Structure formats: structure tokens, C-alpha cells
Structure 1
């Protein structure tokens, strides 16, 4: 048997979980401080010093004082990221539908047409030779 009771295992796991949660919150707040556009450099430096010197109190005060704006910045950043992704997908789809862009794409399209029976062997060979020259 072990000398470490089951209740101690649960307690250790709980404390470890809280420790990981604390570091996650601390890094999240430090990241938010650096990403915040509404603070100048001195305000950012003051918050960083406060969070590092008195971490528990600093994080608690930061969440109370700037928690709502922290959420608003996250929502705005998510909207911008989604808009950028949608623009990228739209551009990629337009490029895709505008036709084959390179020789490899054109050869693949020719092979598809040949496999579908649209082009016979002679037409396929002529078009392929014309592409490769």
C-alpha cells in the first residue's frame, strides 16, 4: 500500500489545477496589457509592474478595472480575424473559378476532359504538346 492517502491525491490535483489556472490567467492579462491600444506606454508599464510585484492583487484589480474592455477587445479581434478569413476564402474562390493558372492546372484540366471523353486521344495529345512547348 501507499503512504499517500486518496484525499491527498485529490487535494494535490486540485492545487495543481488552480496553479495552472492562475498562470493561464496571469499570461492572459499580460497579453491583454500589451495588446491594449487605449493605454500609453507608462500605463502599460505600471500595470505590468503591479501584476508582477503583487500578482494576486494586481490580477484581481486588473480584472475588476478592465475586465469589460478586455472582453470587448477580444470580441473585436475575433470579428477582424473572421473578416480577414472570409476575405481570404472569397479571394481564393475567385482565383479558383477564374480558370487554370499554370501549366500543371491546365494539364490536369486536359486530363479530366480526356477522361470524360470530351477530347479524343489525338486532340488530347495535340493540346498537351502545345502546352508543354
Structure 2
């Protein structure tokens, strides 16, 4: 095996990986787009299967500008859902006064001890 065979193999491997990345990006963008109908999505997928290079180039020219906008919107939506989940789990949705009032009610009812109340109060104020 010569030096140029190795260089050619590296180049072809790079081109194949780049091709796969473009295909997965296009397919991800197709399924992320809620404005495009299912029939149009099916046509794009069939075209990607039978004429992959030409279809990929046409897709990138015709719809490439919106790909980043859809990816950004999807990322922002996922971040908002994650933040809401974290707030729900961490109990950060309640104001400190509400948390302290609930802890005081539990202390008065005898559910928690004075030490637990003090710990909950300190946690709410932090």
C-alpha cells in the first residue's frame, strides 16, 4: 500500500463522514419542521434515498437558511422545558415566605421537629 493510497483512503473516509452528517442534519431538520406537510417530508426522504447528492444540495440551497432557525427554536424550547422541570423538582417555584409558612404549619402540626424547621427556613432564605 502506497502513501497515496492512504491519503486517498483518509480523504474518502472524511467525505463519507461529512456526507452522513449532512444527511442526518437534513433528516433531523425535516422532522423538526412543523410547517411542512407529511407528504412533502416523504417526497424529500424518497429523493434523498434515490438521488442523495443532488437532493442534499437542492435542500441546502432551498431550505438551508431556515435550518439554523428551526434548530435554535428547538434548543430554546428544550431549555425552557428543562428549566421548568428543574424548578419543579427543586421547589424553586414557591417564594421563600411560602416555604417558611408551610414549614411553620408542619412544625405547629408536629410533623417536623424544631431542628428540621430551622433547616427548612435556612434553605428557603438561601
Whether the TM-score (by the shorter chain) exceeds 0.5 is yes
Give the superposition deviation at 1:31: 2.2
Is 1:74 the counterpart of 2:76? The answer is: no
Within the candidate set 90, 100, 110, 1:93 is matched to 90
State the partner residue of 2:44: 47
Output aligned runs, 1:60-71, within 5 Å.
Answer: 60-71=57-68
Q: Which runs of 5+ in 2 are unaligned?
A: 104-111, 120-126
Describe the superposition over 1:35-58 as per-residue Cα deviations: whole angstroms up to 9, x where unpaired: 211111221121112211110000
Tell me the TM-score normalized by structure 1: 0.65
Give the superposition deviation at 1:72: 0.7
Within the candidate set 12, 19, 40, 1:22 is matched to 19
Give the superposition deviation at 1:84: 1.1
Q: Which moved more, 1:17-26 or 1:84-93?
A: 84-93
| Alignment size in residue pairs | 101
- 1:90 & 1:58 partners in 2: Cα distance? 44
- Greater relative CO, 1 or 2 (CA 8 Å, sep 6+): 2
Q: Which runs of 4+ in 1 moved over 4 A?
A: none
Is 1:31 the counterpart of 2:28? The answer is: yes
Q: Which runs of 5+ in 1 are unaligned?
A: 100-105, 114-133
Tell me the TM-score normalized by structure 2: 0.68
Question: 3-state SS of the aligned residue for 1:59?
Answer: helix
Aligned Cα RMSD in Å?
Answer: 2.5
Within the candidate set 73, 76, 83, 2:80 is matched to 83
Q: From the CA coordinates, give the structure whose radius of gyration is larger.
A: 1
